[in-house]
Structure 1
Amino acid sequence: MNIGDVIFQLITFICLFGVFLGVFFLVRSLVIKQPSKSENIEQKLDRIIDLLEKDKKN
């Protein structure tokens, strides 16, 4: 076995490992739902609207 074959096998294994890691992190990101930024913005806007309505009543 010459050095070219060893390098080719190492590169192949690294690429294969990278594909498995990519799939793992993709599935992990889809399964673990973090609160989205739009929900946080929506809550802040609701708070601002409530404060404006209170201010309008006074």
Structure 2
Amino acid sequence: MFVSSIILLITLILLAGIIFAIYFAIRSIVIRKNNNSNNLEQKFDKIIELLEKDKTD
């Protein structure tokens, strides 16, 4: 009885660890994609600024 309880506890701890690892992996991927889109948006804004500045000159 005692050994089976320990095995169950270890299994549940491992399962929780796997779930948290998947959660943080997906979260980091989503955050990285948002940063890339923000960088791309900033680059486009800079290009538009330079083009508008070039038009006025």
CA distance in structure 2 between the partners assigned to 1:24 and 1:54 by the alignment: 45
Q: Aligned letter for 2:40? A: E
User: RMSD of the TM alignment (CA)?
Assistant: 3.5
Q: Percent identity?
A: 14
Aligned residues: 53
- Whichever structure has more helix as a proportion of its residues is 2
Runs of 4+ in 1 over 4 A off after TM superposition: 8-11
The 3 A distance-change label for structure 1 pair 15 and 24 is: same
Instruction: Please list every run of 5 or more consecutive structure 1 residues that lacks an aligned counterpart in the other structure.
Output: none
Which of residues 17, 26, 42 is equivalent to 1:44? 42
Q: Say whether 1:21 aligns with 2:19.
A: yes
Q: Say whether 1:54 aligns with 2:52.
A: yes
Q: Aligned letter for 1:48? A: K
Which of residues 14, 22, 30 is equivalent to 1:34? 30
TM-score, structure 1 as length reference: 0.51
Q: Aligned letter for 2:30? A: Q
Instruction: Please list every run of 5 or more consecutive structure 2 residues that lacks an aligned counterpart in the other structure.
Output: none
In the TM superposition, residue 50 of structure 1 has moved relative to its aligned partner by 0.3
In the TM superposition, residue 46 of structure 1 has moved relative to its aligned partner by 0.2
